[in-house]
């Protein structure tokens, strides 16, 4: 981890859609399970390491987001992109998805 860069982000573009995959940098490479649910914080999320402020700026630009981790999801909630009641927990880690319409 470099300085205060705490979130790994990777973007994907398909037509007019811009998907942002983001997870807390300290959970990158880990897998979490709970019951039948499982989430892998692998290659899909492995991109640039950014600050919370840089992450939220990118979140404002995307049309779809897949978010994992306490810092990442809390930042999205704090900026009004995710409703706290829509967050699921898998193995003690929050996960949320967002779609702009």
Mean pLDDT of successive 10-residue segments in the chain (101 residues)? 75 96 97 96 96 96 97 96 96 96 81
Q: Give the pLDDT score at 101.
A: 81
CATH 3.30.1860.10 fits 7-99, yes or no: yes
Q: Give the pLDDT score at 2.
A: 45
Q: Give the pLDDT score at 1.
A: 40
Q: Kindly list the domain boundaries of the chain, sorted by start residue.
A: 7-99
Residue of 87, 90, 96, 97 whose CA lies nearest to 38: 90
Q: Give the pLDDT score at 91.
A: 97
């Amino acid at each position: 981890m470099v300085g205060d860069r705490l979130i790994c982000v990777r973007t994907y573009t398909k037509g007019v859609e811009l998907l942002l995959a983001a997870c807390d940098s300290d959970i990158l490479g880990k897998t979490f399970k709970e019951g039948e649910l499982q989430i892998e914080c692998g290659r899909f999320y492995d991109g640039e390491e950014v600050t919370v402020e840089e992450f939220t700026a990118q979140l404002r630009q995307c049309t779809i987001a897949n978010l994992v981790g306490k810092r990442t999801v809390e930042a999205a909630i704090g900026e009004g992109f995710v409703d706290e009641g829509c967050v699921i927990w898998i193995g003690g880690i929050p996960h949320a998805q967002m779609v702009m319409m």
